[in-house]
Amino acid sequence: MDSVRILMVRDLLSFNVLLILIFASTSVNAGPVYANTEWTDSHATFNDGNNAQGTMGGACGYGNISSRGYGLETTALSSTLFNSGLTCGACFEIKCKVENSTWCFPNAGSIKVTATDLCPANPAMPTNNGGWCNPPRTHFDLSYQMFTRLAKAEGAIIPVQFRRVPCVKVGGIRFTMNGNPWFNLVLVSNVAGAGNVVNLQMKSSETNWFWMTARQISGQYWELNQNLMGQNISFRVTLGNGKVMIANNVVPANWNFQQTFESDINF
């Protein structure tokens, strides 16, 4: 009887250990896939030729990404990763799965890119044959230059692994003022740290430190229906990882639309 009890206790302990191991293995990336900091399987393609025209513009609203400071180290994301534009500005490290593709360069290492665009779904095509960006699939549509650092262009689509990494940017957070006197459309760019802005608040020199929450319009465009002409403007920026930073009086009172102002701070 004692030996039976010992076996039962041992089996129970083994079962509990197994449960702990299962829970630990599944909870490493329990959050949304676009926030994964552990290596995660995916695929990548490239979106243009070697003239990089396909990297300009994009659903994040950055426009000319070279002038915004992103260069060619960019990627479009499938909608699963894009998160309605709230992943714009985030940075990812990507490496080719050499063991799974003859197109990968064996010693390529990894690349780091900033999310600047949406890779649209193609519902008419299956997810494993042309519908690479269809949900719930994760996918990276890289610039030609970044793709060919990892693999031969002839490969067209390659198996990769990715993870979120902190963004490293030169200079401060940039705010581009658009709109008209009755509403402000602010583009936020060149954000370090987590990179992706998920909330933007504004105040002017005449609002007594009352923070007004801007509304995300698309990508990294934020709208506030207030007339702030002739006033200094400050911003409170919240990133996807919850970190907050205040850029005080970054926009001077004599500002105009289509101007970009750079703060002296960054994450």
Taking the CA atoms of 32, 192, 69 and 108 in sequence, report the sign of the dihedral they define.
Answer: negative
Nearest to 234 by CA among 256, 215, 257, 253: 253
The b/e string for 59-92 (b: 16+ C-beta within 10 A; e otherwise) is bbbbeebeebebebbbbbbbbbbbbebbbbbbbb
Nearest to 169 by CA among 139, 146, 140, 197: 197
Please calculate the CA angle 46-241-67 and round it to the nearest 5 degrees: 45
One-letter amino acid at 146 equals: M
The Cα–Cα gap between 267 and 47 comes to 30
Predicted pLDDT of residue 31: 83
* Structural domains in the chain plus CATH codes: 33-165 (2.40.40.10), 174-262 (2.60.40.760)
**How far, in Å, are 45, 81, 197, 204, 215 from residue 210 at the CA level?**
46, 33, 20, 8, 16
pLDDT tens string, the chain, 267 residues long: the values are 444 444 343 443 443 433 333 333 333 455 899 999 999 999 999 987 665 565 677 999 999 888 888 989 999 999 999 999 999 999 999 999 999 999 999 999 999 999 999 999 999 999 888 999 999 999 999 999 999 999 999 999 999 999 999 999 999 999 999 999 999 999 999 999 999 999 999 999 988 667 889 999 989 999 999 999 999 999 999 999 999 999 999 999 999 999 999 999 999
Beta bridge partners of residue 237, listed in sequence order = 200, 245
